[in-house]
Structure 1
Amino acid sequence: MVLTMERKAMEIFENHESQVRSYSRSFPTVFEKAKGYKMWDTTGKEYIDFFAGAGALNYGHNNEKVKKKIIEYIQEDGIAHSLDMGTVVRAKFLERFTEVILQPRNLNYKVMFPGPTGTNTVESALKIARKVTGRQTIISFTNAFHGMTLGSLSITGNSTVRQGAGVPLTNTVAMPYDTFMQDHHSIEYLERFLEDAGSGVDLPAAIILETVQGEGGINAASFEWLQAIEKLCHRYDMLLIIDDVQAGCGRTGTFFSFEPAGITPDIVCLSKSISGYGLPLAITLIKPEYDIWAPGEHNGTFRGNNMAILAATEVLSYWETDVFAKSVQEKSKMIKARMEKIVENYPELQATTRGRGFMQGIACGKGKETYGSEICAKAFEKGLIIETSGPDSEVVKFLGSLTIDEAGLDKGFDILEEAIQEVLNK
């Protein structure tokens, strides 16, 4: 019997690839092509993508502008790998990032290229915060997700991934996130620990947080809470680190997710969509007075990924004016309206909506958590790629590309509603 290409590939994955793979289990097909907000598998089946590479494809699959630049660069024998040696591409990115992103926002940061992953930018942030302050403890928050290497894992809340470390995860303290406590008194709780010499919490080097928790359940902190955290950092001489790996690069409607709160972090972590094309890249933004690294003190072989840096430079064109940001904000209202209508139309879910911008979710109520995974699985069968979030996979999470049009949003949400109906009527 002749095996189909899809079935043969599935057998190859099962026979040769580690059991650690996860997304290939959530989306059990073999993808072959992608463009914009659509993907196709080897059978030719079309899928609307509400996942966008876990937020790494804010500008869609195979963005035409970026693809053209990369192809030209390769054909001209442009430098692909250079560690942190000087290249024309690197200089252009630094200049453009300063002109287009930092200066209009009155931000002054040094740009660091760590290893090209989200967890590596977080690791670099933790290291420099400890170096600057001479302290060891880092405060993070409930349901946080910051990465899978040991330092990042120590400040991650998910018990399943923490257990994978195999060693004690130390020098961190978890505090309640803004939305974690029913009475919303998490600032008072945190402040009491900091001011009381008997709390058992050493004065921390830094506080790290996501303004919208991606993997933790699309929990969005209020701007007032973020402002209060910044004030605490100033009062106790702690550095404020914003992990904008998933929520940054326009995902919440502004380039940095913290902009509407009017705060200025000491360190900002960016990865995922900073390259704009799904190519591995990360940068760490550090206030100049804290940039006290010794040369090579934090390094990595692939921090000079010039094709990713080239792509990152090209997508900055989306941010030269406020037109793109306004389009994201307008479509965000449409996303919110569709989600609120679903919550209203299907009271059996006992659901609520969460998040902001292009980072929103439908959280199934207590005792209904399994619906999240069932809905996403059914949606996939119908041609929609959408994933869950939260400690119990209870949140159906929208994370589509920022360039998706209204027709794509409508079609995707129509499929999602059909999936919900079938799950509830089974």
Structure 2
Amino acid sequence: MSDLAVFDQYESEVRGYIRSFPVVFERAQGSVLTAEDGREYLDFFSGAGVVNYGHNNPAFTRALVEYLQSGGIIHGLDMATSAKRDFIEAFQRLVLAPRGLDYKIQFTGPTGANAVESALKLARQATGRQNVVAFTNGFHGLSLGALAATGNEKYRAAGGVSLGDVARLPYDGYLGGGIDTLDLLERMLDDPGSGLDLPAAVIVETIQGEGGINVARAEWLQRLRAITEERSILLIVDDIQSGVGRSGAFFSFEQAGIVPDLVTVSKSISASGLPMAILLMRPEIDVWKPGAHTGTFRGNNLAFVSARVALETYWADTAFTDAIAERETQLRAALERIAEEFPAAGFTVRGRGLMYGLASPSRPQLAGAVSQEAFARGVVIETSGARDEVLKFLPALTITAEELDRGIARVREALAAALAV
């Protein structure tokens, strides 16, 4: 069989991205994906935020090859290994200590959804309460606990069962400008007739990625932190897509100056694309009994190796975040020019760091059409939002200025072609 026939015949109908990008990819380096036929594609998707440092970053591949050749432990459950110890020490030294954060680290199953499941379970154990507050357009994963906190109708319908113990309230900006949606949360928490049971936790993305690149204001997040602290409600920040530099800082909540009780981190934490997820928690919340949340692959030592090298390479000083800020300025300015040039699209520009969107609520089919036209021009770019109305820019944080300009120019051509149809 050739091309995509084997996938069509033997792979489940659940496959998704292969339908948007119907080629067989063979190699990747930095911000470039190469198909079997040799055609190159600029990657503005980064594996949904998994390869923030680019594909096959030589600093990581070199360390992984050396570790494998040395006979290092690959699978270790939650036993002590030198690779895990070295990662913990680097994370403490280069991430937590410089930010004044006092967190313990839990190595969950290797997916973001499992980190969210861990956070929800632990919050309920620590508080003795069941209810959780989540927000409109939030995305937290597709296993049942995480799915209950996810807003998208398509994903929720696939669960096949009742999704309970989660109350949904409006995210920042959901009701339009000038309305602080936390007025509703605070009123309902303080009104014994509201029907909102005191929650164990509130779970929030500071930047909603799958939900449409909705960015919460710093003031809104600060008020949310105050509301939860005053009522002994745990605050969970889901930093799975917007963390590890994607927002411009290591953690997306840094800009607001808040300290969550629990933080879920996955996707790019391993740096190399290897599966890895962690849950950060304030020490007093760590009420787990040994083995109460376990999993066969929570000890991915190869991921620990590349994760440590990434911290040592990119987070020992401010050079990396300074470079991200430069690329953000370049990206935002380009997107604002595009929005101004094509007023018929009704675009608004949303985002922070290198996590941006061109949103067209009045023409929700446009983003998908642009994505297809862009792919035909050698750019991989996806959509997000409840109606896939947002063209979503997630380039590698290591992308060069020239690559970014070249990709944006192709997206602009794709937009012109889509509007001309």
Class of the TM-score when normalised by the shorter of the 2 chains: over 0.9
Residue 411 (structure 2) pairs with residue 416 (structure 1): yes
**Mapping 1:325-336, distance limit 5 Å:** 325-336=321-332
Distance 1:9 1:139 in 2: 45
Aligned residue number for residue 397 of structure 1: 392
Q: Which of 324, 331, 341 is the aligned partner of 1:345?
A: 341
Q: Which of 199, 202, 213 is the aligned partner of 1:218?
A: 213
What SS does the corresponding residue of 2:4 show, helix, strand or coil? helix
Q: Which of 270, 289, 294 is the aligned partner of 1:275?
A: 270
Q: Is the 8 A contact 2:49 2:267 kept in 1?
A: yes
Deviates more, 1:317-326 or 1:182-191: 182-191
Q: Deviations over 1:114-135 (max 9, x none)?
A: 0000000000000010000000
Q: Which of 336, 358, 365 is the aligned partner of 1:370?
A: 365
Q: Deviations over 1:88-114 (max 9, x none)?
A: 000000011000000000000000000
Distance 2:140 2:337 in 1: 32
Q: Which of 243, 252, 256 is the aligned partner of 2:247?
A: 252
Q: Is the 8 A contact 1:369 1:393 kept in 2?
A: yes
What SS does the corresponding residue of 1:372 show, helix, strand or coil? helix
Residue 321 (structure 2) pairs with residue 321 (structure 1): no
Aligned residue number for residue 13 of structure 1: 7
Residue 37 (structure 2) pairs with residue 43 (structure 1): yes
Q: Which of 270, 276, 296 is the aligned partner of 1:301?
A: 296
**Mapping 1:170-181, distance limit 5 Å:** 170-181=164-175
User: What displacement does 1:154 show?
Assistant: 0.1
Residue 54 (structure 2) pairs with residue 60 (structure 1): yes
Distance 1:347 1:339 in 2: 12
Distance 2:361 2:339 in 1: 11
Number of positions where the alignment pairs a residue of Structure 1 with one of Structure 2:
419
Distance 1:75 1:152 in 2: 38
What SS does the corresponding residue of 1:393 show, helix, strand or coil? coil
Distance 2:264 2:380 in 1: 27
Distance 1:56 1:187 in 2: 31
Q: Is the 8 A contact 2:172 2:181 kept in 1?
A: yes
Q: Deviations over 1:55-97 (max 9, x none)?
A: 0000000000000000011111111000000000000000110
Aligned residue number for residue 243 of structure 1: 238
Counterpart AA for 2:35: D
Residue 136 (structure 2) pairs with residue 150 (structure 1): no
Distance 1:141 1:425 in 2: 37
Q: Which of 76, 80, 84 is the aligned partner of 1:86?
A: 80
Aligned residue number for residue 199 of structure 1: 194
User: What displacement does 1:330 show?
Assistant: 1.4
Q: Which of 93, 108, 112 is the aligned partner of 1:114?
A: 108
Q: Is the 8 A contact 1:36 1:403 kept in 2?
A: yes
Aligned residue number for residue 97 of structure 2: 103
Distance 2:387 2:302 in 1: 38
Q: Is the 8 A contact 1:121 1:283 kept in 2?
A: yes
User: What displacement does 1:236 show?
Assistant: 1.1
User: What displacement does 1:179 show?
Assistant: 1.6
Distance 2:279 2:238 in 1: 10
Distance 1:157 1:387 in 2: 19
User: What displacement does 1:325 show?
Assistant: 0.6
What SS does the corresponding residue of 2:196 show, helix, strand or coil? coil
Q: Which of 289, 297, 303 is the aligned partner of 2:284?
A: 289
Distance 1:79 1:93 in 2: 14
Distance 1:204 1:160 in 2: 26
Distance 1:49 1:240 in 2: 34
Counterpart AA for 2:46: A
User: What displacement does 1:184 show?
Assistant: 2.3
Distance 1:365 1:156 in 2: 21
Distance 1:424 1:360 in 2: 21
Distance 2:78 2:276 in 1: 13
Extract structure 1 runs of 4+ deviating beyond 2 A. none
In structure 1, runs of 5+ residues without a counterpart are none
Q: Percent identity?
A: 48
User: What displacement does 1:192 show?
Assistant: 1.0
What SS does the corresponding residue of 1:333 show, helix, strand or coil? helix
Distance 1:260 1:111 in 2: 22
CA RMSD of aligned residues (A): 0.7
Q: Which of 141, 157, 164 is the aligned partner of 1:163?
A: 157
Distance 1:184 1:307 in 2: 47
What SS does the corresponding residue of 1:32 show, helix, strand or coil? strand
User: What displacement does 1:9 show?
Assistant: 3.8
Distance 1:259 1:236 in 2: 23
Q: Is the 8 A contact 2:3 2:23 kept in 1?
A: no
Q: Is the 8 A contact 1:331 1:406 kept in 2?
A: yes
What SS does the corresponding residue of 1:47 show, helix, strand or coil? strand
